[in-house]
Amino acid sequence: MEEQTKRNEIEQLGKFNLINRLKENFKIHHTNTEVAVGDDAGVITFGTHKAVVASKQFLENIHFDLSYFPLKHLGYKCVGITISDILGMNAIPKQLTVNLAVSNRFSIEAVDELMTGIRACCQYYQIDLIGIDVTSSVTGLCISMAAVGEADAETLAKRTGCKENELICVSGDFGAAYTGLLLLQREKRIFEATQHSQPDFEGYEYLLERQLKPEPRLDIVQALHKNNIVPTAMTVVSDGLANALFHICNANDLGCTIFENKTPIDQLTFDTLRSLKIVATTVALHGGEDYELLFTIKQDDYEKIKNIENISVIGYMGEKNGGRYLISNDNCQIELKAQGFIQQEKEQN
């Protein structure tokens, strides 16, 4: 009897190992392909200028739940997430293409509402819509986007390039988006159980906005350019701060040390998570969907960056092949771990 081949489950690999597996055996055929799969975005060289290209896909009931996600906010968020990968290369987003797969559940008015959000984000960040396509779907709503940006050779930042003892910086604060998601899910469960209660979100507006309408950090990239600061390595924080740190460490074969008391967490996020009996630092490290920027700088650039609003220095890069650590508020050294996205999505849905 022929032995049955063992089935390997995707969750055994996780998102990033799966991507590494999928890109195997693809050769680079053109000399102007500077960065292929493995960074926040692809980079194509044209003389002294760089074209930076990123794409994203968003699936109903995987990446968004329309029971509490307004279509206008969804359109805005999808654009913001897509162009965040351009910003994660220290580049400026310029153009966008949109592909929609829509089931017969959606009316023309509903699609118009989605496009209103897409248009609002494009208008605010001065993004040109250069392509759009629509097809039918039998599984709900699917949104696919690709963004194009520009960078000079001198200012482009990749995940590679940092060195030992360089400073680790982040924009904004962490954990608010995931906390907002927890609140939305809680109110959905209450509504499904009672069919009468109305959501109570008074005082939680910041948390809901970070989940439903996150803003890409174009302001941070512009501030870096204005102050002549070129990150030595850079990435966008989409799947938790720990995952982003691992991207930088792995790309450079370095360790890192960050400090809990330097990691920015908004007070409302902290208080809300405490009421839910959840440790805020854990959510900051693993919650995801913050879309802030993480980057490293030379120590000589500290004087340039220390007074820029919404940027925090949270640690430093460690020695080659070194460990990745969090120094807790009680001065304990804790080894960092990065969660896989599949486990996280199971917990969220």
Q: Tell me, what's the pLDDT at 15?
A: 65
- DSSP strand pairing (42-46 vs 92-102): unpaired
Q: Is the distance from CB of 141 to CB of 66 less than 8 angstroms?
A: yes
Q: Which residues, in sequence order, are bridge partners of residue 151?
A: 50
Residue 342's pLDDT is 35
Nearest to 88 by CA among 248, 305, 210: 248
Contact indicator for 190, 280 with CB cutoff of 8 Å: no
Contact predicate 91/131, CB 8 Å: no
For the record, the structure tokens of 85 come out as 């990968």
Nearest to 264 by CA among 176, 335, 326: 176
Measuring CA to CA, which residue among 314, 334, 307, 328 is closest to residue 245?
314
For residue 50 the two structure tokens come to 């760089």
What is the predicted pLDDT for the residue at 16? Answer: 64
Q: List pLDDT tens digits, range 280-297.
A: 999 999 999 999 999 999
Residue 184: what pLDDT?
A: 93
Domains of the chain in sequence order: 31-152 (3.30.1330.10), 167-348 (3.90.650.10)
Length of the chain: 349
Rounded CA separation 99/106 (Å): 15
Beta pairing class for 254-259 and 128-136: unpaired
What is residue 347's predicted lDDT score, i.e. its pLDDT? Answer: 38
Question: In the chain, which stretches have pLDDT less than 50?
Answer: 1, 340-349
CA atoms within 13 A on the CB side of 87: 26
Order of strands across the sheet with 49-59? 33-35, 42-46, 49-59, 142-152, 92-102, 128-136
